Amino acid sequence: MKTKIYRIQYLLICLTGFLPFSCIDNEPPVEDLPSADVAFTYEVTDDIYQLDYYVGATVEFTSISNLQGECTWDFGDGSGEITGNVVTHKFAVAGTYPVKLTVAGTKNKAQPILIKDIVPIMSIDPIEGGICEVLTTPVSISVELPNPEGLQEDYLWIFPEGATDENGNQVTTSTAVNPGKLKFSHVGSQAVRLQAKLGGRTLEEGKVNVPVAYNEEVPTLYYAVKGGNIMALKLVNNKPAAMNINPFDMAVSSGKHPLNILFNDASLYVLDCGQQFTFVDDGDGVLGDGRITVIAKDGSKVETMLTNVGGAAFNDPFYGYIEGTSLYFANRNTGIGKIVLTERNKIYSLSEYPWYVQNALVGYYNNGWSYGSMNACFTRIDGTWYWCKTYNGTGIFRFTEADILKQTITGGTPAPAAGVALSGMTPKSLVWDSKNQVIYFAVYDTGYEGLYRCTLDQFSAIGGSKSSLAPYKLKTADGKSVTPITEAGKGEGSSGEFIGICQLTLDEATGCVYFGLRSANPDEIKSGLMRYNPAKGIIEHVIEGVEVYGVAVNNSKSKLF
């Protein structure tokens, strides 16, 4: 099935060759503009690959020109000219070639043709039971190797660490056309690669990722990689010593700055604030490029929920929280909007998505925060909102639904009774563990950077005293704190918007808190996917060396997704 899809995709590209205008952006020279007097069609005439314009395929060109006279063809590959109303040609190298027909030596037409290189087309055969379970389920890999010239085929299969045949024998490579059924000893995306040759010519390497499930049902962690894809990781606690738990590549781009990702029901919601996450002079309000994307938990479906492309840059979606049937999303510095979880393909506007709350709708305005007060993560705990602010009024500003005013204010309104926690500090992210009744939060203040945990009573008692944070600071096994980048020029962002620990997320089963660390001191603690493990009482690496934005846990247990 995957092979057919692959070929259809290229068919759509190739069919553009039949249209009177090419799909190339560059405007052709005047003498190459299409003419009613000169025209031609082309097709592959090989019996097997009639729909595929591969290197080595026989392409037949036919003049359908109104102008009469000798037809001269130049295939654009340096092979010289030939004449005839109907001619054939084989292209030896992949590329786009400007095929030119000249009739009677007077008029001509040039048209580009895309010739694809030959690559192995690999696919996973249907799996018994639907999923490949680690150590247990045999998997077969099929390959189609386009070979229009009938050249000698050579295969070198390369298997991932821990691959075995059906009898449990370790296998690393195979030169067979069909490598037989495989089993896998490690969880995650297991890459099977194929290096093939045709007539002694080495082709582009083929690869297929086999998603290998764990053999017990456990939660799944999703994380967004900087400059990469959304990844998924099974949260396994008691794996066999010889088994690795590797991430799954969901084959969906993380986007530009996915500061928050949220999991709900069977979907992952990615809040990507786009390229302009830091200050930008957007006087015309057109530099927005953020969006909220919805991804099925197995990556099989990707949809746009809400887009701000072409809108004001500061209205891109930065941070989010899901409760009930709604997703709440904060922009850069003004407020929080709300959208129903089932909405799709919506364009952001204040008229359709008015503020649920904004700075000037809470009594903290000019009584704690001011214009330009920068947003960060937010959540609701026991009916009270906790909203992190990191500039022009900093701390975690707390309020209830009843504290949200009907009209904006300029000051003079009493602050909500819940008050400001961590007043004067710069908390970026937080998560509530309701089972254990503790709150986790990350602080960026110089000398106090790091991750903290305490009860809500202790949290409130900290007030604005940074020294009161000390008893609640979490550290690694060797007593080191996780220090995110807050030095201009060394990371992303500037004061109030540094990207170092974007988001915290909770594994409800174990109480572990996961986060991505962009480390200020990589010689002491490397950047990577981290977690606080309450069973050990330490912060530890999950994956070293990866740069992570948002993180989210699907707490529903499964073997795969």
Domains and CATH numbers, the chain: 2-115 (2.60.40.10), 121-213 (2.60.40.10), 218-558 (2.120.10.30)
Strand partners, 93: none
Q: Say which amino acid occupies 1.
A: M
Share of the chain above pLDDT 70, in %: 94
pLDDT reported for residue 203:
94
pLDDT above 90 coverage of the chain, percent = 88
| Res 234: pLDDT | 98
User: Quick one: tokens of 31?
Assistant: 């003498």
How many whole angstroms separate alpha carbon 232 and alpha carbon 551? 10
| pLDDT digits 0-9 by tens, 349-383 | 999 999 999 999 999 999 999 999 999 999 999 99
Contact 95, 125 (CB under 8 A): no
Distance of CA 246 to the CA centre of its chain: 17
Q: pLDDT digits over 98-148, tens only?
A: 999 999 999 999 999 999 999 999 999 999 999 999 999 999 999 999 898
How confident is the model at residue 30, as a pLDDT? Answer: 41
CB 94 within 8 A of CB 204: no
* CA separation for the pair 370, 391 (Å, rounded): 9
**Cα dist from 499 to 262, 475, 539, whole Å:** 18, 20, 19
Where is average pLDDT lowest: 22-31, 502-511, 540-549? 22-31
535: CB partners within 8 A, 6+ apart? 510, 511
Indicate the residue type of 126. P
Q: What is the dihedral of CA 71, 76, 82, 85, to 10 degrees?
A: -30
Burial 61-82 (b: 16+ CB within 10 A, else e): bbbebeeeeebbbbbbbeeeee
The string of pLDDT tens digits covering residues 544-559 is: 999 999 999 999 999 9
C-alpha–C-alpha distance, residues 491 and 216, integer Å: 39
| Type of residue at 387 | W
Assess contact for 118 and 56: CB atoms under 8 A: yes
Percent helix / strand / coil, the chain, rounded to 5: 10, 40, 50
What six digits make up the tokens of 135?
């150590």
Convert the pLDDT of each residue in 188-222 to its tens digit: 999 999 999 999 999 999 999 999 999 999 999 99
User: What is the residue type of 196?
Assistant: A
Which of 270, 309, 305, 263 is closest to 286 using CA atoms?
Answer: 309
Strand 40-44: give its sheet, edge to edge: 40-44, 59-63, 86-89
Supply the pTM of this predicted model: 0.85
Best CA proximity match to 449, nearest among 518, 506, 511: 518
pLDDT in tens, 394-427: 999 999 999 999 999 999 999 999 999 999 999 9
Closest CA to 55 of 118, 114, 145, 143: 118
